[in-house]
Structure 1
Amino acid sequence: MDGVKQFFSGLFCLALISVLSLLGIVITLNLTLLNPDFTLTALKEFDVYTLMTKQVESLLEGYGVSASDEASFAEFEPRFEQEVEAIVRSIYDSLHKGESGMIITLTGIKEVMKDYVAREMSSLPELPGVIGGDIEAVVSRIYSDIDGMMPDKVLLDESVFGLGTIPHLDLISRVPGYIRTVHQTLAVLGIVLVLSLCLVHWWQPKPIVRALGIVFLTVGVGCVASSFTGLVGNVLFGSLLAPSTTYMQLQPGLLRLFSDMLKPMRLYGFGFLGAGFCLMIMSLLWRSVPTTSRIVATQGLPPA
């Protein structure tokens, strides 16, 4: 009977380790790749808003105008961030709703770029080569260049990604729903396995606490080790690539991005490590109820 109990206890422990490890991966995905806040933070780390400003400045330089100073960009940066945030959140809303044909509205960004152009042009008293200082005509041409460079709306379909991509877009749009279903299923399965483990040990606290402590320690060590292994692997992979100016510029941001992606997994693992240590200490300090009962019963028996 003890052998059967140990077999099922080990089986349920292995299943619970697998479920909790997969749950950590799902939680990490929900907090990173499927989280618009994470994407917005990554865009800010890669200084995407400065790239937008550089694009406008290149248009101005085509007409012999150079940007005034950094303070001018600092004034418009919050507006760029606000418009980009609206676009990113609309994309994630469409993804979580399972919509494959996503429409990105770029009108707000175009308006900010035009306002930035107007601000730069108004700070110049006169343009070289422009008869009579006809700045408004130059501004109108720059506005036309911005309209030609960026449409008001973009529909993410085959015209953007190429022919035959609709099935892939449909699959991507269903991924958040699949992840949500897997998350709920793993949570319920974990509860069922814990209850099954308690039933195998006949609800005796000490063996249950010891078994859960072993499970939590194993999950914690695995999650922490995998997160650090992934980070080291990313560094080694980057060192094997051929050095280039673009990669050297992006490398610090990529390393921070990869570290931030694995951060939820590390915290998840450290949480289970702490819980596992506490449970193991409790199991060592916990006196077995059957043993105590036998001692009391033996002390109460009359001498033979």
Structure 2
Amino acid sequence: MKYAVGIDIGGTNTRVALINESYEIIERIQFLTDVDDPDKTMDKIVETISSFKLDIVGVGMSCPGPLDLIKGKILTTPNLHGKWHDCEISKKLEEKIHIPVYLENDANLAALAESVIGEGKAYDYVQYLTVSTGLGAGLVINKKIFIGAHGFANEVANCCMKHEGPSHGMIYPGGIEAISSGTGIIEQAKKRGLKVEHAGQVNDLAKEGNKVAKEIMQDAKIYLANFIANIQAYTDPEIIILGGSVALKIEGFVEEIEAMVKERVYDVVKPYVKVRKSTLNEDSGLLGAACLVFQSVSH
């Protein structure tokens, strides 16, 4: 039996998992990410991998981006600072552990997992979107991640959907992440006087009839549906899979989005619109990292 290590470096926590060829997570360890010093985080990663005393054929790793997937480095990220920026992270880790390391965007890895072992395993053209703290995406064609000419394919958070729309952090005003992500929903709600801590509370207020909450949730759904309808038109995927806390925890969200997308495409396209929930949940990125490793070492 061969094993891969999946690593998910987040703005708060880093997760490291040992995964076998059957895509079973054998062991999972989580610790705080040092947001200023990648070397301290990598030392903990190396220590963790060393504790997995098995035949590890490779390491798949996701980091906040944007990333340079060609050179294997972090370009810039709002949640990690200092030495993290322009850090050739996959090269540095590979030098420490002497095992091949493959860097990928977290949404791309989730998309790959969905395509190989999740809701998209029966399809060749799989589009994935995570609607969570942020809004990310990945496209997998014939079980291979499509990264584009420079590695930036499906870096969708900044796609402008609304003129003079809301913004947050580095997101351009009207960017889809600022409208439809959990962070975007919460920030809009707080700016308009609602006392909320997560998107589910905004949705609850909307169901109770709160006018402001209804407007925010309506915009989040409308512009997400518009965006997905655009994707349907551009790439004609067989299935679109939604993951992330907003999509999965708000009851009826995915079903409502599918119905709205069908209203926004040609009649001949409607039968082919298939929007489904992720069934891999928070493990999709780690499992996708293992998928990437096993694909890479088999060639």
Shorter-chain-normalised TM-score: which range?
under 0.3
The structure in which a higher percent of residues are strand is 2
TM-score w.r.t. the length of structure 2 is: 0.22
Taking CA–CA contacts closer than 8 Å with sequence separation of 6 or more, which of the two structures ends up with the larger relative contact order?
Answer: 1
The structure in which a higher percent of residues are helix is 1
TM-score w.r.t. the length of structure 1 is: 0.22
